Structure 1
Amino acid sequence: MRVGLRIPPCAPTGQIAELARHAEDAGFDEVWFPDSQLLWRDVFAVAAAAAAATSRVTLGTAVTNFVTRHPAVVASAARTVAELAPGRFLLGVGVGDSAVGPVGLRQSTGAELRAGMAVVRDLLGGDPVDFGTVRSRLRDPSPVEIHLAASGPRNLRLAGELADGAILLSGVAPAPLAAAITKVREGAGSRDVRITVSAYCRVTDDVPRAARELKPICARIAQNGGAPFLALAGVHVDVPSHLPGVYPDLVHAEDWNAAVQACDPYVSDEAATTFAREFCLYGTAEQIAERLATVREAGAHAVFLQHVGSYDLPHTLMTDIGTQVLPILRTRADVA
């Protein structure tokens, strides 16, 4: 199973590219960059810089969208980065989330995702596309794999039906993960679709203490309709649809301590600890390696790890995973 690292483009582009190179040197297989035009640097510019700084690691967007970016613009940008990183660029797309909310737009519907992916795939494949009254094509096309981020049943099936890969936002808890993979496979039928699991991660020997930082993540999942998935793993929370005073949202809060405090009445310390142990990869290096093995056995082909925080770089996570967890995984693979 391939192991990736999520790097928010929250620093000058040169620093992001340098960290991508360090992740490659540390043994990571993939590096993923999120896209939110007001929060971070432009995702395709950052991916291009990372392509020039690396030679082996796969690069991906996690994820861009078809609301703030027209599908034709997405296709052109993806083709350009793929030229700079031949065979090692993945186009991750999704509903928009933090890219659309701060500019007053709504997330993509399933129908809009379907239409956007069709346009991008046709353009990258060299086929003409009807844009209202005109029919156009992309010069110098180059196929790029499209991976759809999904959490709900309909988009999970859509990922299986149309995408080359599904990026699961369901965490690593066995029951929700199995349910999500089943939905992807229902949509895929006989097609092979790569399964990538996104997971918050921290190497620690004190999970209850570290878990407090996850309260906004847990609350946001509940707000987005994920309470039933949380309940499957024994995490029971009841969170209002909006918590005032957190900008721009719970997952990307500029003041993380304030976001944690805003969630305290709705996410108990016990619930946060269970969330950390079940949905996330919080624990010792040995425990994380064991959980990753379970994720692989569940059917995942890849996982990308992320730290809590949108405006600092994951230096600690990269170092801890690179020096403590990846050696365990390599030893087990050699033995197998």
Structure 2
Amino acid sequence: MPEHKQGEIVVVTGGSAGVGRATVREFAKAGADVVVLARGKERIDAACAEVEAMGGRALGISVDVTDCDAVEAAAERIERELGPIDIWINNAFAGIFSPFMEMTPEEYRRVTEVTYMGQVHGTRAALKRMLPRDSGMIVLVGSALAYRGIPLQSAYCGAKHAVQGFLDSVRPELDYRGSQVRMCMVQLPALNTPQFEWARTHMGKKPRPVGKIYQPEVAARAIHFAAHANRKEVWVGSTTLEAILGDEAASALLDEYLAETGVDGQSAPAPVSPGRKDNLFEPVPGDFAAHGRFDDVAHATSTQMWLNRNRGAVAGAVAAVAAGAGLGFMLARRDEG
């Protein structure tokens, strides 16, 4: 049996489903060895099998990212069994669809601890190993909602805002010490993932994403790009751009608009199924993989992300066109003279 050629060693938290599962596939396709950190063993095993089918080494570890000691133990095991971690992707999150006053303190705390503190714990474990080597990349998976909160998701939006502030603090600390370890945050749009099937909800109807919906592979490609680019942030999707810039320009007007549309817009016509299980405190059984139930309306590409990836070439093309137009204008004026 030929010896495996070691590629990048990449850790993906929440890597068993949704964006995490698509990201695991994206890195495996590029030749990486991938570690899947999640809770549900069935989905972890399925994700690892996909990595191995593409020729990579896979390691699956069942861990709750709210447990700092467990995340640290997982990182130690990864380096012992696979080697030095090159890229750590903090993707795990939890969500709940509910008016703020209808959530319990325990529910709110759980969303915050998974979505925010999970990224803090992952970053700590990664930096502990990357700083002495002076190399490595940490990707924080964020959302347009890190800038612009919406109704029914105050816990999730607050946590993503916190991740944004965390990035703003830690990144210059790395720069101050002259470290070559890099950090980047990817701000994602609405995505067609299983979260809408298993996120806890206090609403009577099935939750759904708002605005333009993208396939999780769009997010996965953006995360792979961010892990290899020298950027602080990568915005994905036209709706992310609109939400962030719109909030900067007219935040109060967005409040009024969301008061009118933000609640009903997150509810599908169908009622929540009786006995529906959610994954807030325990994983839901079954292999949900990457996609949710919105394949018929989800977009598989993002023009905005293409422009983001190729902004150097685009800027050069725009400059060339502008220069050509300027030259034509000068020649025309010369002929007139």
Do the two structures share a fold, i.e. TM-score over 0.5?
no
Structure possessing the higher radius of gyration over alpha carbons: 2
